[in-house]
A and B are shown apart, each in its own frame.
Chain A
Amino acid sequence: MKINAKDVASGVFLILLAAVGLWLNADHALGTARRMGPGYMPMLVFWIQLGLGALVLVLGLFNGPDPLERWTGIDAGMLVVSVAVGTVVWQIAPMFGEFFTGTYNAIGLGMLAGFLVICVSKGWRLLGFICAAMCIFGLLLEKGGLMLALTATIIISAMAEPQHRRQPLGVLGLLVFLLALCWWIFIKQLDIRVAVWPMQY
């Protein structure tokens, strides 16, 4: 077989995205070439993307082989489970308190839950921990303050590295160092407008 699986997948991805784009673009007036409407350029762009995607896909059938990385059953399963958990948490988050009715906190919590769940599978673990670390930063920063948010981010991101799990003292040292450094740079020097300690704003 000469199938280039990477190219085929890329082609499918491009085509799907272009199709979604064209579908969404149906809401926008096309206008004329003289007075182009908001939908004119998107129409051009998505049709070109569709064509290129198809070309990538067709050529990908012959210029291989270049297989995708192997997914284990648990990787695929956990992807589905984590997306489901994330969506459910996002939808029910407003019930947990007033904080989650705010702008992006519910979706942040949903993303955090999804990324933490996906860490169960080995293939996704690194991605999951790094993304979860960023999400918890977003969740904690405004109410919990910079120090709390950084602490949580550093601890979760450290879980991505097996060596840290064996030597928690190293993480502690890093934590103290980074907290001090960030306070000095961002609060002392740059004075970015953000709460430093919990419930400051």
Chain B
Amino acid sequence: MDLIGNLAHGFAVAFSLQNLLFALIGALIGTAIGVLPGIGPVATISLLLPITFGQPATTAIIMLAGIYYGAQYGGSTTAILLNLPGEISSVVTTLEGYKMARNGRAGAALATSALGSFFAGTVATVVVAASGPLLTSIALSFGPADYFSLMLLGLIISAVLAQGSVLKSVAMVVLGVALGLVGTDVQTGQQRFTFGIPELSDGIGFVSVAMGMFGIAEIILNLERPEAREVLKTEVGSLFLTKEEWKRATPSVLRGTLVGSVLGILPGGGASLASFGAYMMERKISKGRHLFGQGAIEGVAGPEAANNAAAQTSFIPLLTLGIPANAVMALMVGALIIQGIQPGPRMVEAQPDLFWGLIASMWIGNVMLLVINLPMIGMWVKLLQVPYKFLYPSILVFCCIGVYSLNNNVFDVYMTVLFAIFGYMCNKLKMEPAPLLIGFVLGPMMEEHLRRAMLLSRGDVMVFLQRPISASMLAIGAIALLAMMLPNLRKGKEAALSG
């Protein structure tokens, strides 16, 4: 069968009343849980897993996939409105999105996020359908050395995330890497910096760090400056994008889609780089780069598109290799296995209904999310008009329940408190939390890939230069480093930042 025929078959499957209904339910649940801080798609899918036992496999997976992208959409909403990032992709969204919201452009930021995600989702779905099996070779061509160089490149250029001093932002990246060291050493199984606390043996929880440093610290800071928070309710502004904003956001969405589609394919941590890679790209090359730090729409459009594109293409390793790229995908594998289906290379032939039905429903799910989310923008913006004195206790209790439900352990609640204090301190010292989180996420992966590469090469450092992918990553990194150090370019950057 050709692609068109296959897709037609897929749409025929997905358009059954039952599958449409469950795609909608999944999208709705996903949006709802994405909006709730801390409750992520992993927790929800594991709670809903038993429900899927009674459903046909295709329906079950369509619903779970709906939850997955729905959560991505919903997560952006809290990041933009409340500075509450639930995962690494939305950390980047808070940078410009929350600033836009404070400037009274919350509606535009949410609309950009929804439209950008929809466009990227559509493109990425076509990518998965047309060339999924071919792209598998990309996933397999990345060895440990290549992943290490990719992560290193990510860390080097994350200095671009700096809103202030580049030096301090690099220091925060390194501090993040240091925090990421806590936990069990993968190679030897030894506990590092855990102080004998078993809860730390799997590392410090990302949600505790992100929620503490962003969400809770922001509550304390907002309470400290009653005058600043009132901006939130007085100037809401137009709900939709202006002509000017359309013009600025469109190229960013295109670039973000490209970045996200490629990175999403890499199962060894590519998807977590997607939104932040796109952000750095926009910050460097978009027309509105001088507006970054004050609520630039490019900084929402690019990363949101990249994030959603990566969410779609990260299905490629699952569908073609049977290898889950992240925890959500691992759950999908579980759901399929319970149904008696083994994901893997043979799935395309053995389960064409499932494979093509899922791909078609990816797109349908994106349409539904757009339909659900665009009309809700008005409601979300109204949320900002709730007096802050009522809003903040609500955010706080949702954060508490969300953090607890991650592992059903109060330890995580106390960890979040510690990171809230740390985030508050960082704000007072003008140390930025975003680069820290990037380092925190990439650091452990980088160490793992580095050590594995060295084990496999028997200690030969040349492996990083001999492999073409790795070598080109390192070359780009070196150029970026040089560019940052050259004084005239640096002056230009500073001028751009102050202007």
Binding site for B on A (CB under 8 A): 6-7, 9-10, 13-14, 17-18, 21, 24-25, 28, 32-38, 40-42, 45-46, 48-49, 52-53, 55-56, 59, 66, 68-69, 103-104, 107-108, 111, 126-127, 130-131, 133-135, 137-139, 141-142, 146, 149-150, 153-154, 157-158, 160-161, 163-164, 170, 174, 178, 182, 185-186, 190-194
Contact = CB atoms under 8 A, between A and B. Distances in A.
26 contacts: A6-B428, A17-B178, A24-B193, A33-B454, A38-B192, A49-B178, A52-B171, A52-B174, A66-B430, A68-B429, A69-B428, A103-B411, A127-B220, A131-B417, A131-B420, A134-B216, A134-B414, A135-B414, A138-B410, A149-B400, A170-B390, A178-B393, A178-B397, A186-B401, A190-B33, A191-B47
Interface in B33-51: 33, 36, 39, 43-44, 47
Contacts of A28: 185, 190, 192
Interface in B60-92: none
A37 B193 CA distance: 14
Given A130-B396, A134-B400, A104 B174 contact: no
B193 A130 contact: no
B170 A42 contact: no
A33 to B, nearest CB: 5
B223 interface: yes
Contact of B459 (A34, A66, A182, A191): A34
A55 B428 CA distance: 19
B188 interface: yes
B451 interface: yes
A42 B181 contact: yes
B49 to A, nearest CB: 12
A137 B413 contact: yes
Interface residues of B, number: 64
B258 to A, nearest CB: 32
Contact of B404 (A9, A24, A55, A141): A141
A13 to B, nearest CB: 7
Between B185, B398, B399, the greatest number of chain A beta carbons within 10 A of the residue's beta carbon is seen for B185
Nearest to B401: A186
B243 interface: no
Contacts of A6: 428-430
Contacts of A182: 397-398, 401
A34 to B, nearest CB: 3
A13 B429 contact: yes
Interface in B409-431: 410-411, 413-414, 416-417, 420-421, 424, 428-431
A33 B219 contact: no
Nearest to B36: A185
B406 to A, nearest CB: 10
B396 A157 contact: yes
Q: Return the 4 tightest CB-CB contacts between A and B, nearest first.
A: A34-B459, A138-B413, A38-B185, A138-B410
Interface string B215-228: 01001100110000
B455 interface: yes
B447 interface: yes
A34 B220 contact: no
A41 B414 contact: no
A126 B219 CA distance: 9
Given A137-B397, A142-B410, A178-B394, 11 more contacts: A35-B455, A42-B192, A45-B177, A52-B170, A130-B396, A131-B417, A154-B393, A163-B389, A191-B47, A192-B405, A194-B408
Interface in B207-260: 216, 219-220, 223-224
A55 B223 contact: no
Given A52-B170, A192-B405, A135 B430 contact: no
Contact of A41 (B181, B394, B410, B417): B181
Contacts of B428: 6, 68-69
A132 B48 CA distance: 33
B472 to A, nearest CB: 23
A52 B167 contact: yes
A40 B413 CA distance: 31
Contacts of A158: 389, 393
B389 to A, nearest CB: 5
Contacts of B44: 190
A35 to B, nearest CB: 6
B450 A153 contact: no
Contacts of A25: 192
**Centre residue among A41, A174, A185 by max chain B CB count within 10 A:** A41
B168 interface: yes
A126 B39 CA distance: 26
Contacts of A42: 178, 181, 192-193
A56 B32 CA distance: 43
A148 B175 CA distance: 38
